[in-house]
Structure 1
Amino acid sequence: MASHRRPSQSGLTQSTRVTVLSAAAATAAAALGATPAGADPAGTPTAAQATVDRLFEQAEKATEQYNRANERATALRKEVAQARDRTARGQERVNRMRGVIGQLAGAQYRSGGLDPTVSLLLSENPDGYLDKAAALDRISALNAGKLHELTEAQRKLGQERAEASRKLAELERSRTVVTRHKRAVERKLAEARRTLNALPAPERAEFDRANRSGRAELPEMSGAMPASARAAAAVLAARNAVGKPYVWGANGPTGFDCSGLMQWSYGQAGVSLPRTSQAQRYAGRQVSLAQAQPGDLVAYRDDASHIGMYMGNGQVVHAPYPGAPVRYDPVGMMPVSSVTRV
C-alpha cells in the first residue's frame, strides 16, 4: 500500500532517512528469509518501503477475503438455523398426523371387521346400519387421504433433514476458510510488525512520522455537495469516525477496516451495504472520478481490495492500515479502479 503514504513533512534529514530505511530493509529481508542479490545502500530505502507496503497490502487483501468468508459463514449460520427450524416443525407435523391416523384406525377397528353384506343381514336396524356404513366409508377415505399426507410429509421431512445436513457441512467448510484467511492476515501483520519493531526507537518514531502523516482535520470542501440525503448522512458518520483505529475485520463503531468503515457509515444513513470492498463497488451506479461527489465510494487497485469515501475537494476518508487511524487522504493516493454512487 505504498500509495497510502503521503510525502513526508517531518523534516527528516537524508542521513536519518537512509539509517531508518536501511534498518527496515535489513529486518524485512531477515523476516522474509531473502536478501536481494547485489543490494546496495542506495537501493535499500526503496526495498524497505516496498516490503512494508507489500505486507500491509497483502494483509488488507487477506482481510477482505476474511470478511467475505465470514459474511458467508454468517449467512450459513442463519440458513442452518432456519433449516433446523423447518425440520423440527416438519417432525411435529408428522407426529400429529400419525396421531390422527392412529385414532382413525382405532375407530375402524372398534367398528368390527365383518363383510358389509353380512353385517347388513345381521343388523336389526338396517337404516341405522347404512348410516353407520356410510360413516365408516368416509372414515376409510379420510384415513387413506391422511396416509397420503403423512407419506408426503415424511418425504419432505427427509428432504429438509438432508438440506440441513448439507448446510451444516458447508458451514463447517466455511469456518475452515475463515480461519485460514484470519491466519493469513495475522501472519502478514506480524511480519510487518517485526520489520518495524526491529528499528531503534528514535528511528522508528521518525519512520512513523514520515510514513503515516494522513490528515485528521476536516479538509476544505469547496462547496461540494453530497448527491443525496443518505449520502450526506453517510458523510457525516464517516467524519465522526475520523481518528478511530484501524482494526482488521471490524465494522465499527470503535474500530474499522476499510470496507467496514463504508458499511458502518452508510448503515448510519439506513443503507445496508455489502461487507466487502469488492461487493461495495457494485452497490450503486458507477460514475467517473471527475463526477465524484461527497458520499461516493472510491475503490482502489484492480481487485478493489481497498475502498474509501469521497469527501470533496480531492479528498477521501478511509481506514488505511493497522497503526494508522481513520483519516483523510488525497483521492489519488493509489490507483482508482471505480467510483460508485450509492
Structure 2
Amino acid sequence: MARSKKPVVIVTRRLPDIIETRMMELFDARLNVDDHPMSRADLIEAVQQADVLVPTVTDRIDAELIAQAGPNLGLIANFGTGVDNIDLKAAHERGITVTNTPGVLTEDTADMTMALVLAVARRITEGERLARSGDWGGWSPTNMLGQRLWGKRLGIIGMGRIGQALAQRARGFGLAIHYHNRTRVPEEIEDELEAVYWESLDQMLSRMDIISVNCPHTPATYHLLNARRLALLQPHAVLVNTSRGEVVDETALADHLENGEIAGAGLDVYEHEPEINPRLRALDNAVLLPHIGSATIEGRVAMGEKVIINAKTFVDGHAPPDRVLETMF
C-alpha cells in the first residue's frame, strides 16, 4: 500500500525537540538540524518546495522571495509574534495565508523588560563587571549610585498584552503607570492598572522617568523615537526597548547616551540585528542583551505548539486560529 502523502513543512531554524518530534509525526517535516541561518538561496529553495513554510523573525520573507514561491505554498506559519519580517501584502496577493504566535510570550517579555528597567536604574551590569574586574575597592557611600524606582513614573509605548503585563509588574515596584497607545484601552483596564493615558506621545515623553517601548514595528512606528523625540526625555530618564530595534533611532540614542542627555538605556533588540552599534557597546550606561526577551523553555514550546496548530488546521482545510491580516499591522 502506498504511503499517504503528508504536506511538506520546511522549518528554517532549530526548534525545541518536542516540537520538532510532533512535526515529524504530523507532516513531511524538513528540519534545520544544525540550526544555521538559511541563506537567500536556501529560502528560495524552501518556498519552491514547501506546502507550509515555518520561518522565524530573522528570516526576510519579502515580495521578491514570495514571487518565487512554488504553486503548493499555501501557508507561512511564522515562529514569532511580530510579522515585520514578512511582506503581508505580497503574501495575500499570492493567496498565501500568514499566521503568527500571539500571546504566548507576554509574561516572558514583560519579565525581561522589568529586568532591564532594574538593571539600568541600579547599574547592575556595570556593577557586575566591576565585581569581576578585581578593581573594586570595597563599599563606599558614593560608589555605584543608581536611581530608586519607587515613586517614579513609567511611560509605556504600546499598551497591548506585553505593555499591560509590564504595568502589572511595575506597580509592584511602586511605579506610576502612564501610557501612549494607538487607541485608548478600555476603562476597566485603566482602572485596574491605575494608568494615565496620553494622546500625545511628545507630552508623555517629556514627563516620564522611565520609558518602555512595547509597540510593534510597522511603517508608522519606524524611528518613532527619533532624535527630536529623544531630546524630549529628561536627563535622568531611562529608556528600555524589548519590542523591535527599528522603533528607536540607534544613532540618535547613542548621541544622547554619550552626551549624558539621558541617564541610560536597556536594549534587547537592535536596528540592524545581529549587528549592534559599536558606540552602544562601548557605553557603561547601556545595558545590552542578545534578543532574549522571549527566551524561556516554556515560551518557545508554546510558540511551537501554536505553529503546529496553525499548520494542522490549515492543511485540514480550515482557517487557522492565528491568521494575520494585512490590516492588523
- Normalization by structure 2: what TM-score? 0.22
Of the two, which has the highest radius of gyration? 1
**Which structure has more strand as a fraction of its residues?**
2
> Looking at both structures, which has the greater relative contact order when contacts are Cα pairs under 8 Å and sequence separation is at least 6?
1
TM-score, reference length from structure 1? 0.21
